[in-house]
Amino acid sequence: MGGSSLVFFILIMGKKIFLVDDDENILKSVSISLESEGFSVKTFTDGEKGLKGILEGSPDIAVLDIKMPRLNGIDLLKKIRNSSNVPVIFLTSKDTEIDELLGFKLGADDYITKPFSQKVLIERIRVLIKRQEFFSKNKDAKNENSKTNSVIKGNFSLDKDKHMCKWKNKAINLTVTEFLIIQSLIENPGVVKSREQLMIAAFGEEGKNEDDRAIDHHLKRIRKKIKINDKKFNEISTIYGVGYKFSE
């Protein structure tokens, strides 16, 4: 195992991954693969059990199936997002555009369709873990000049240490993905950011290999959250065929 691989293996050891799926064969095989990579894994066979486990157990990543008894994945994610920003990956046999759109609108961080490669799933989990570690380091870092960790542009205010976003002094509850997208835009007012650039801002270099249409879904969700407090919000513009920009 190379030096960088060893460091990352140590980083993910003990990270909690919760799997919610009614297919016990998938739960077993994915659990074995994740545990061999150093993750701590808990499994749940229906949405109700998964909800209770996630809210009480505070996992680092939750992987949810959509088709489940008692509480399906869509409704499960809705309930999770009422009180938690835990990164969520949808693992589902549904692959239509409308299902993907709904998943991202509700705050899913990633989306993988069945049949799937377990190597791909593990890599997606690794990406989300890296982003979580990035935020943890920022939050724990001591900086005498707090302004270096704050961004104020127009009516937006970002606190990078606390992972807090405000619009006109009202808190906007964002997921990690949404926060990184907003940060990329407001730190560069007037600059048009392509979807690929925003994917890289949200997912790192691995974002180059992702479907950049996901950015459209994330921006719709961000706008919806802000418009709860300000129906006239229009400071983030869509530049059709190019990307997005923030104007103060």
Query: For the segment 128-158, what is each residue's pLDDT rounded down to a tens digit?
Result: 887 776 655 555 554 444 445 788 888 899 9
Q: What average pLDDT does this structure show over 229-240?
A: 91
Question: Containing H/E element for 12?
Answer: helix 3-12
pLDDT, position 161:
76
Q: For 37-64, how does the pLDDT look when each residue is reduced to its tens digit (9 = 90+)?
A: 889 999 999 999 999 999 999 899 999 9
Q: Are the CB atoms for 182 and 156 separated by under 8 Å?
A: yes
pLDDT, position 63:
94
Question: Is the full-model pTM beyond 0.75?
Answer: no
CA distance 116 to 114: 5
pLDDT, position 243:
92
The CATH architecture that domain 147-246 belongs to is Orthogonal Bundle (1.10)
Other CB atoms within a 10 A radius of the CB of residue 68 amount to: 24
Helices 118-140 & 24-36, crossing angle to 10 degrees?
A: 60
Query: In the chain, what are the domain boundaries?
Result: 3-134, 147-246
Q: What average pLDDT does this structure show over 108-120?
A: 83
Task: Return all residues near 7 (Cβ < 8 A) that are at least 6 apart.
Answer: none
Assign 9 a pLDDT band (cuts: 50, 70, 90).
Answer: very low
pLDDT, position 112:
83
pLDDT, position 28:
94
Q: For 169-201, how does the pLDDT look when each residue is reduced to its tens digit (9 = 90+)?
A: 898 888 888 899 999 999 999 999 999 899 888
Query: φ, ψ for residue 158 (rounded to 5)?
Result: -115, 135
Domain 3-134 has CATH 3.40.50.2300: yes
71 CB-contact burial (10 Å; exposed 0-12 / middle 13-18 / buried 19+)? middle
